[in-house]
Chains A and B, each alone.
Chain A
Amino acid sequence: MNIHEYQAKSLFREAGVAVQEGVHCTTVEQALAAYDSLGSRTVAVKSQIHAGGRGKGNLYCPDLGDLVMEGGVKVASSREDVEEYASNILGHKLVTKQTGPSGKLVSNLYVEAGCAISHEYYLALLIDREKASILIMVSTEGGVDIEEVAETSPEAIHKAWVDPLDGLQDEQKSTLANSLGLSGPAHASFVEMIGSLASLFVDRDCSMIEINPLVRTEDGTMVALDAKISFDDNASFRHPWRTDLHDLSEESDIEIRAHEHGLSYVDLEGNIGCLVNGAGLAMATMDVIKLYGGEPANFLDIGGGADRESITAAFGIILEDPRLDGILVNVFGGIIRCDMVARSIIEASNEIGLNVPLVVRFSGTNHSEGKQILDDCDLDVVTVSTLSEAGAAIVKLIGGASQ
């Protein structure tokens, strides 16, 4: 789960990590009131969406027609600036390199007091899977694309790992501060901040905290000018407060619906709908479709604990997708029985209507019963028994390879 910058900064404030004063706004009037109340001549007017690259993104009319403004993060030096930027951001679509070409509608804004910057740094905490611990990465090259830094000057990135049992040691904090060339009050400020961030990461069960840029102000304080937090969804059960931070408008209706049924769904660009049990097999099924010349329209894993109701819901979601030219169901029965899946397919099809070619591949538990049920029903279903037959059949049925 991701949250907005303004929400992340509020968690930073609580954890004792220095941030500038700022106000979350949803209207131009609120933005102007925020400017008046902040008492800072210069403020940043920042689009709030769950994607990076906002500063370098562009704002378009909601139909993606006219370009409204370049840059989704603006520095305003007057009330007039604030009014102009806020009106250009709110209600418009921000397209960044992380949003994809369709962009994201901006309905939240953050107006933040400016500060006198001496230098910009980069800081991130994330899970290092291979070392099975929290990795802290810092760099003197802040405010820029960190992946580019990693590519061109990896020596500019310094790392430390938090011991899972003993925590982050004072010596490590100091070494990280030294690696950024900090001294005096900035050194002390960094040491305090990194300790707070490491605690925040653990206390809130984060999967990532990224601050880019982290700045040293002219008076030697380290301030988080940006803030990005992702949470580990597996830990949500012990953090009920997360519900209030969850911005459902950032997810598609289908994704929300899928989630309610315990399904894992990701929208893709193609025209062949997929329903599969298991994440790995779902990805492999998409790969097969592509190898046979088709394009998958989605990733859909019905999960290991799927029942008749959730599978019916899953197939319903696919049937209602207007982009589809065909559907491929690939189920390797283990705990999930293929006959149950067959009945769900029929139930959903009878309710919603099946108007595109359907290929079903069953293997594993009760596969022959499942095939029999589908062969005996009134629906137009092609049943196959292997993955390669499945890929070949669906691509052929929709009229051959797309390229």
Chain B
Amino acid sequence: MSIWIHENSKVLVQGITGSQGTFHAIRMIEYGTDIVGGVTPGKGGQSVDLPGRSVPVYDTMSEAISETGAEASVIYVPARFAASAITEAADAFHELNGGGLVICISEGIPTLDMVRVVAHIDQRPGVRLIGPNCPGIISPGEGGGCKVGIMPGYIHAKGRIGIISRSGTLTYEAVAQTMGVGEGQTTCIGIGGDPVTGTGFIDCLAAFEQDSETEAVVMIGEIGGTAEEDAALWAADNFSKPLIGFVAGATAPPGKRMGHAGAIISGGKGTAEEKFAAFEAAGIHIARDPSKIGEVLLGVLVEAGLRES
């Protein structure tokens, strides 16, 4: 099993005729994702040639969903158009299917656009947004799987670990380390590094708690905000599986934005130290050394009796 996507998920690509959209549509289909079409306003009626199939392009999300029966959409449009692309997808999924999954890869969306988008989606229960500014979501399968995003698919393998992360390449690092200790993944989700995003740590943890195949979860946070602290508090009461946590940015100085719009220690809040402390208080197994995430995971699995030492 996996969360939110599965091997047969039908996926649309918003911005499929753009260079990013086409490039990643090809990579996704090569991985095994069922890309069923795309949306680019003004280019409806055209088609895009992907490995092994040619997929139709629609003008609107409503048409695309009605015609293809898609249940998820991934957005690769420039930042200035991304908020309306998310809103359009949310409305269409809500009206036609009563819900759906929207994954926004685009980077650089104005924060206040996201504030409005998140409020809009909150009024459409059943619609889930992942991102923006994230690598996406992947569920490796037997000989393929479902990859909705930009991550290098081949570093993953089907297994029993869930991974949640606020950053992109650090997610890949965590994946590589779980692979290094012989563990594959159920689902990996990059929730994005912006100040305001859709799905958060708690949503992911709640879904992994329900997923019978996920045995343990690795959670990768970073400095800024209180999402990690909130997740730790929630997990203490509601999450029963082994949880391993790391927070990037222990060496970051206060007041300096470390790349991600959200990664900043301000007003003495959001430090890695506070987040590690919150993890420990909640019984989360911490890896202070990011090069030891795999080792800590394996130790925890053995300790829990899930693997032999």
Asked whether A334 lies within 8 Å of B152 as measured between CB atoms, the reply is: yes
Q: Give A229 to B118 CA distance when docked, in angstroms.
A: 24
Give the B interface residue count (CB, 8 A). Answer: 66
Asked whether B168 lies within 8 Å of A280 as measured between CB atoms, the reply is: yes
Q: Which residues of A contact B165 (CB under 8 A)?
A: 280
Central interface residue in B151, B169, B224, B272, by most chain A CB within 10 Å = B169
Name the residue on A nearest B107 (C-beta): A304
Binds B, one of A12-20, A130-138, A213-221, A241-249: A130-138
A200 to chain B, nearest CB (A): 12
Name the residue on B nearest A264 (C-beta): B259
Asked whether A130 lies within 8 Å of B226 as measured between CB atoms, the reply is: yes
Asked whether A279 lies within 8 Å of B116 as measured between CB atoms, the reply is: no
Main secondary structure on chain A at its contact with chain B? mixed
A350 within 8 A of B: no
Asked whether A282 lies within 8 Å of B173 as measured between CB atoms, the reply is: no
Asked whether A238 lies within 8 Å of B193 as measured between CB atoms, the reply is: no
A256 within 8 A of B: no
CB-contact partner of B258 in A132, A165, A299, under 8 A: A299
Q: Which residues of B contact A363 (CB under 8 A)?
A: 172-173, 176
Asked whether B260 lies within 8 Å of A279 as measured between CB atoms, the reply is: yes
Known: A334-B151, A388-B289. A233 touches B261 (CB 8 A): yes
B223 within 8 A of A: yes
Q: Give A335 to B20 CA distance when docked, in angstroms.
A: 10
Asked whether B115 lies within 8 Å of A132 as measured between CB atoms, the reply is: yes
A266 within 8 A of B: yes
Q: Give A98 to B79 CA distance when docked, in angstroms.
A: 32
Q: Give A284 to B291 CA distance when docked, in angstroms.
A: 9
B15 to chain A, nearest CB (A): 15
Asked whether A283 lies within 8 Å of B248 as measured between CB atoms, the reply is: yes
Known: A129-B262, A364-B152. A279 touches B291 (CB 8 A): no
Contact string against A for B residues 161-179, beta-carbon threshold 8 Å, 1 for contact and 0 otherwise: 0000111111111001000
Asked whether A268 lies within 8 Å of B253 as measured between CB atoms, the reply is: yes
Give the A interface residue count (CB, 8 A). Answer: 56
A273 to chain B, nearest CB (A): 14
B192 to chain A, nearest CB (A): 11
B8 within 8 A of A: no
Q: Give A171 to B246 CA distance when docked, in angstroms.
A: 43
B41 within 8 A of A: no
Central interface residue in B110, B267, B289, B291, by most chain A CB within 10 Å = B291
CB-contact partner of A388 in B195, B226, B263, B291, under 8 A: B291
Asked whether A147 lies within 8 Å of B267 as measured between CB atoms, the reply is: yes
Asked whether B195 lies within 8 Å of A284 as measured between CB atoms, the reply is: no
Name the residue on B nearest A146 (C-beta): B267
A250 within 8 A of B: no
B150 within 8 A of A: yes
B252 within 8 A of A: yes
CB-contact partner of B225 in A130, A163, A333, under 8 A: A130
Q: Give A205 to B108 CA distance when docked, in angstroms.
A: 13
Q: Which residues of A contact B223 (CB under 8 A)?
A: 283
Contact string against A for B residues 129-167, beta-carbon threshold 8 Å, 1 for contact and 0 otherwise: 000000100000000000000111001000000000111
A211 to chain B, nearest CB (A): 16
Asked whether B196 lies within 8 Å of A279 as measured between CB atoms, the reply is: no
Known: A278-B167, A287-B250, A365-B152. A127 touches B291 (CB 8 A): no
Binds B, one of A85-93, A179-187, A288-296, A371-379: A288-296
Name the residue on B nearest A277 (C-beta): B169
Known: A277-B169, A304-B168. A388 touches B259 (CB 8 A): no
Write the residues of chain B forming the contact surface with A, with a CB cutoff of 8 angstroms: 79-80, 107-116, 118-120, 135, 150-152, 155, 165-173, 176, 180, 193, 195-196, 220, 222-227, 230, 246, 248-253, 255-263, 267-268, 272, 288-292
